[in-house]
Amino acid sequence: MTRARPAAASLAGAALLGLAGCGGGGEDAVEARLRLVVPDNNIRVEGVECAGARPFDYLRPGASFTLEAPDGTVLADGELPAGRAENADPSIDWNVERIPTVCVMELELDLPERRSYRLRLPEGRPLAFDRSDLAGDEPLMLLVQ
Amino acid sequence: MSERLRRPRRACVLLVALALGLLAPGCAGGDSSGEESHGGAADLPGPVPAEVAFRAPPDDATPAPDFSANLVDGTPVTASELWDDRPVVLMFTASWCERCADVHRRVAEVVGEREGVALLGIVPADDAQGAREYAEELGLGYPIAVGDERVWLSFAVREPPTVVLVAPEGKVLRGWPGGVETPVLAERLDELFQKR
């Protein structure tokens, strides 16, 4: 799992540390736990570390992502962690060690309160979700398209 | 929980640049250490020893798609020249793949115990910089090439680590997506040696 940093910190780095608490903050943070599901259907042993297989090979550990507000303002950014292979179809008992899997990457982010968000990956369409989607106990699943 | 931030990498680059800057005046234009980079030309295999002979591949084995690529030090390499007279293990890997290094190490051990067998690591084209660091960290003594997308596609590699065994004369014997168990690779390689 990876935790992203707020965008401002990434831009200004240590220079901003001395200003912490000075700048009209006070925005409530929203904890977002996301499961980024890469539907690559690659044959793997369940549970092994993975990256997106072709054609999703741009989703790999270290690949950049940003979390944006609907108006395009970058709220946070970070790098993807390694994923874990999960059964692509849990309704099937494959009876073999290597099975069709998806690669699931877990993200944990602290976001400023907004009505909705967009997760932008290095390629493909941004993945949109609402603040209300984060209310449940389980991480929010986002299917890469 | 691992945190992946870009800043440390930048800091690392800056430190390296600073170190180079500090060292440069003392180098006086000479070749500082004379050390070869890992994964480059110095790690290419020599000729197959005269006492080693390999079996001909099965007639029905699939021809391996030939390719050319540059090693991490820029040295060009042509795959068919490697597998012309010896088995070659292709190790598709990447610097960002956390379990690849372990697979690569174990494959190198198996290959190292068998005279005349070659091992060529192949990293994606967009991982060239990472590949140099990967090669230095591993220090396996085997070449590592930067292979463009065509190389990966021609061997149907969708994700590293993937290991491919090519028999002498360039026939694909087996591919192992996700890596291969050491005894399995050892057995397949041993089958290729001519008994005397």
CA distance B4 to chain A (A): 6
What pLDDT does A44 receive? Answer: 95
Contact A61 B4 (CB under 8 A): yes
Residues of A in contact with B160 (CB under 8 A): 51
Domain-embedded: residue B156: yes
Domain-embedded: residue B30: no
Beta bridge partners of B90: B120, B164
A66 touches chain B (CB under 8 A): no
Domain-embedded: residue A99: yes
Residues of A in contact with B2 (CB under 8 A): 1-2, 81
Domain count across chain A: 1
- CB nearest B178 (choices: A2, A48, A108): A48
Domain-embedded: residue A61: yes
CATH number assigned to the domain comprising residue B58: 3.40.30.10
Q: Give residue-wise pLDDT tens across range A25-75.
A: 456 789 999 999 999 999 999 999 999 999 999 999 999 999 999 999 999
- Tokens 């290419």 locate to B44
Domain-embedded: residue A6: no
Residues of A in contact with B7 (CB under 8 A): 10, 13
Q: Return the number of CB contacts < 8 Å for A and B.
A: 64
CB proximity list for B159: less than 8 A, separation 6 or greater: A40, A42, A50, A51, A52, A53, A54, A57, B177, B178
Domain-embedded: residue A119: yes
Q: Give residue-wise pLDDT tens across range A62-118.
A: 999 999 999 999 999 999 999 999 999 999 999 999 999 999 999 999 999 999 999
Residues of B in contact with A8 (CB under 8 A): none
Domain-embedded: residue B66: yes
Task: Please state at what angle helix B182-190 crosses helix B100-112, rounded to 10 degrees.
Answer: 30
Q: How many CA atoms lie within 13 A of A114 on its CB side?
A: 20
Q: Which domain holds residue B101?
A: 41-190
CA distance B93 to chain A (A): 12
Domain count across chain B: 1
Answer yes or no: is the ipTM higher than 0.90.
Answer: no
What pLDDT does A5 receive? Answer: 55
d(CA B179, CA B160): 8
pLDDT at B186 over 80: yes
CA distance B89 to chain A (A): 21
Contact B158 A40 (CB under 8 A): yes
CA distance A79 to chain B (A): 6
pLDDT at B21 over 70: no
- CB nearest B96 (choices: A40, A61, A108): A61
Token representation of residue B84: 């012309």
- CB nearest B7 (choices: A13, A52, A98): A13
Per the prediction, chain B carries an average pLDDT of: 85
Contact A42 B5 (CB under 8 A): no
Domain-embedded: residue A23: no
Domain-embedded: residue B90: yes
Q: B139-160: buried (b, 16+ CB within 10 Å) or exposed (e) per residue?
A: ebebbbbbbeeebbeebebbbb
Contact A2 B159 (CB under 8 A): no
d(CA B113, CA B168): 18
Per the prediction, chain A carries an average pLDDT of: 85
CA distance B40 to chain A (A): 25
B129 touches chain A (CB under 8 A): no
What pLDDT does A27 receive? Answer: 67
pLDDT at B185 over 90: yes
Q: CB of B89 within 8 A of CB of B119?
A: yes
Domain-embedded: residue B26: no
CATH number assigned to the domain comprising residue A108: 2.60.40
Domain-embedded: residue B15: no
